[in-house]
Structure 1
Amino acid sequence: MKTTITPYLLKRRKTADGLYPVYLRITQNRSYSLYSTEIYIEKSMWNKKGNFINRNWIKDHPSADAWNNKIFRIWNEINRIIDENEGIGRKEIVEKLNDDTDSVKIYDYALQHAEKLNDEGKFHPHKQTKVVAEKFKEYAGNITFDEVTPHMLNDFQEYLAKDKKLEEGSIKEGNHPNTIVSNMVKLKAVFKKAMKEGLMKENPFDSSVYEQTKKVDTKKKALSIEQIQSIEDLKLEEGSQIWHVRNYFMFSFWNAGIRFTDLTFLKWKHIKDGRLTYSMGKTDKQKDILLTEPAKEILSYYKDETDTDQDFIFPILPDKKMTVTGYKKKASSQNAIVNEKLKDLQKMAGIDTNISFHISRHSFARWAKAKGLSLDFIGKALAHSKRATTEQYLEDLSEYDADSELERLVNSRGQK
């Protein structure tokens, strides 16, 4: 029995918001059954000349690629059912397509996995897993693990890399290769866990067909001491939000680049005998550093006689009692706000380099190296456990050494 499968815009079922559903029409002996793709689009987005080679039935929408891929996957699934069930009728095909209610969906499973990470206090992996789950659902829909092929994973990486036209007409740039690598690492962890639990027959990540996006070496950005000075010299209204942000950034710089989350959790108990001592959240290592005069000056703005050892130093996190996870979520949202304000500081100081909070750490390393401080000192200040880590860290900043040498050469022109 010959079966024809055709993507089909059902124009007689217009929704209240003016959209039309996309179906796959399964035709046998001049009779047909319809299977919903759960995709709804404007009539103008439908391409009647779309085909299975170009996968171009839907156009002019940010999710067009993902939706076209979904149509193609359902078409493949119908063909698989036909191949495995000789002589099967169109109605039975639809029944088999619908008979997956007991299958675990990737998106649902990924969210459950993310919540477990959250419960374990792994806030950043929790957030990153949720992000990639949303991206994969946007691309593929809420499909099951066994529906994913190695080719699909390769297509997903291409989808992430593409620029996308948003509904208002603006263009959203595709993800950087390193972002794609990070996304795929988190997605692979979800699949690995699901494989252990027997939720799929084969893990597509283990196939030789799957080609992981290559990570790109990126140079660390850092400010010069002159640029740091220009930020320090800005006349800002005391007590304003941007004034506080400068204090956070400079306190980090003068203490060898404190990470933002660690800065938010600093309490007055961490200041003893002119030193700052705290446990670094990323590595759980202890950091102990002498407070310099610029750092002490910043602290003087925040010290109040009513403060206790258990009070936060900087007014970033709320005073009310929260769970550790709650505090970390708040710190993450505050980090985004601070980075936006740092861009304002960047413009005010006439700096071209895009500034984020983490640049304070790179800038300290650049400054310390330019001053001729030893590798061991820099490594200890940055709390690196291995000398090789510090060497690589400074190697990533080596372009600034070339800048300094070039300036020295130019300045020596005409000298004997």
Structure 2
Amino acid sequence: MSQITFDAELDPYEKKDGTHTIQIRITQLRKKRRISSGVSVLKAHWNPEKKEIRKADPLYRQKNATVKAKILELEQEYLKSSLRRQPVTATGLVRKLKKEVLGDSFLQYADRRIEIHSSPATRKAQRSVIAKLREYRRQEDLLFSEIDYEFLEAYQRHLKRLGNSTNTIHANFKTIKALYNHAVKSGNFEPERISPFARFSVKKEKSKRAKLTEAQIEALARLEIRPDINEFHARNIFLFSFYTQGMRTADVLQLTWGQVDKDRLTYTARKTGKARSIKLIPKAAEILNYYRLSYQKPTDYVFRFLKGKNRKHFTEDQWLGVISAANALINKHLTALAVKIGVPSISMHVARHSFADIARRKTGNVYLVSEALDHSSVSVTENYFASAKREENDGFSDTVYGVDD
């Protein structure tokens, strides 16, 4: 086992309050590792020859004792491992002391933070990001203090090697940054230096959204499909989403007859919590009429994909799984229909993209549609449609779908 030495030294970086952190330098085979002692002093109060804090610092006794205690702790850990003939490295000692001095595991904090998030979809997405990060660490912990610029660069290279797209990498780092920043703002972690995210950034590419033209939408609508098979119902729910201004999949799947009032849909968008009132154009009404029965209850779903499923019997996360499974089933049949009309692919989200593109082209209002319905800001879209007067939105709908008064 190679010899390890321990020394105190002053970090050259000056913090906002003018002080410098006293670091503990751990040297093994000429390789050095450094860790904060948790003590900071003014540069003038540090004696580099004696490696201690001068008496000019009012708390010099306590601070010197703290630094010496941390060094002693490392020496004792090193001695224990040596006596047990267990391998010990400078990196391992740094990891141990970092956890004791600076505490906190980023991964454990992330787990706790994710579980209290109100959105099950967000919880699912963030869990995936942290699981990927945990796999990269090979199940070892990741401390806040270990997240620096070099770590972020290395993790970015790792994600690229895995074949993640630019936008997927961007989304991963966006989640990690948000969790890190929340820990700092809430006082769970205090970085010694400027946040590594202040200098580190990940590019995001403009996504190429799959969409159908009006002619392709019409081809899908005219497609001869045997009634009451899954392909038939998948086609109907896709077209209904398109005819209702790109209604989101989760909303259209959970649409009940109680939300249908003659020529209008009135519902609350689950993603944004905003109330929406949409005029039913004749083509959308025609689809509804197919499913309308005399004995329906207001709580019955319009479309069959959630038939027999009672929201009250599921947790939020379980219900998200139910919605995801229904969406996957619909997309499976839409993929088969895409072949029949000669397009590369169709999914439920394509209905939203298609509406956005056709609406932008027909109205010429880039702000209202291109920014609105997403594709740079979904919130602008939701705000517009939620706040617009009913007549304005109806007129917009008539223009897009070519409905005559």
Offset, 1:239: 1.9
Q: Does 1:316 align with 2:305?
A: yes
Looking at structure 2, the residues matched to 329 and 242 of structure 1 have their Cα atoms a distance apart, in angstroms, of 21
* Alignment-mate amino acid for residue 33 of structure 2: R
**1:181 & 1:146 partners in 2: Cα distance?**
22
Alpha-carbon distance, 1:197 to partner = 5.2
Determine if contact 1:231/1:246 at 8 Å carries over to the other structure: yes
The structural deviation recorded for 1:136 is 0.7
Q: CA deviation at 1:346?
A: 1.2
Residue 149 of structure 1 aligns to which amino acid in structure 2? D
- The answer to whether residue 117 in structure 2 is matched with residue 110 in structure 1 is no
Q: Distance in 2 between the 1:109 and 1:152 partners?
A: 18
Map residues 165-176 of structure 1 onto 2, 5 A cutoff. 174-176=163-165
Of 349, 364, 382, the residue aligned with 2:355 is 364
TM-score by length of 2: 0.64
State how far apart, in whole Å, the 2-side matches of 1:85 and 1:209 are: 31
| Shift of residue 340, structure 1, vs aligned partner | 3.0
* Aligned pairs (5 A) from 1:191-340: 191-196=180-185, 198-202=187-191, 206-207=195-196, 210-317=199-306, 318-320=308-310, 321-323=312-314, 325=316, 326-340=318-332
Quickly say closer, same or farther: Cα 1:207–1:286, change in 2 above 3 A: same
- Number of the residue aligned with 1:34: none
Structure 1 residues 200 and 364: CA distance shift in structure 2, 3 A: closer
Q: With the length of structure 1 as denominator, give the TM-score of the two structures.
A: 0.62
Equivalent in 120, 135, 141 of residue 138 of structure 1: 135
Q: Hey, what's the Cα distance between the residues in 1 that align with 2:175 and 2:313?
A: 28
Identical aligned residues as a percent? 28
Tell me the equivalent position of 2:12.
Answer: none
Inter-partner Cα distance in structure 2 for 1:180 and 1:340 = 27
Q: Report the CA distance shift for 1:145/1:254 in structure 2 as closer, same or farther (over 3 A).
A: same
* Closer, same or farther: CA 378–195 of 1 in aligned 2, 3 Å: closer
Amino acid across the alignment from 2:332: E
Q: For the Cα contact (< 8 Å) 1:339–1:357, is it kept in 2?
A: yes
Match of 1:385 in 2: 383
Higher Cα Rg: structure 1 or 2? 2
The whole-number CA distance in structure 2 between the counterparts of 1:183 and 1:82 is 28
Residue number among 334, 341, 344 corresponding to 1:342 in the alignment: 334
Number of aligned residue pairs: 302
Instruction: Tell me, in whole angstroms, the C-alpha distance in 1 between the residues paired with 2:197 and 2:328.
Output: 39
* Alignment partners' CA distance in 2, 1:360 and 1:273: 23
Instruction: Provide the C-alpha distance between the structure 2 equivalents of 1:137 and 1:374, rounded to a whole number of angstroms.
Output: 45
How far, CA to CA, are the matches of 1:269 and 1:308 in structure 2?
8
Match of 1:159 in 2: 158
Which residue number corresponds to residue 128 of structure 1? Answer: 125
Query: Cα distance, 1:266 vs. partner?
Result: 0.9
**1: CA distance, partners of 2:194 / 2:176:** 9
Q: What residue identity is the alignment partner of 1:132?
A: V
CA contact (8 A) 1:346 1:355 kept: yes
Structure having the higher helix fraction is 2
Distance 2:71 2:262 in 1: 79
Q: Which amino acid aligns with 1:142?
A: D
SS at match of 2:294: coil
Q: Is the 8 A contact 1:195 1:203 kept in 2?
A: no
Deviations along 1:80-119, whole A, 9 cap, x unmatched?
Answer: 27999599557264684684676543333322221111xx
Q: Structure 2 counterpart of 1:361, which letter?
A: R
Q: In the superposition, relative to structure 1, how do residues 241 and 193 fare at CA in structure 2: closer, same or farther (>3 Å)?
A: same
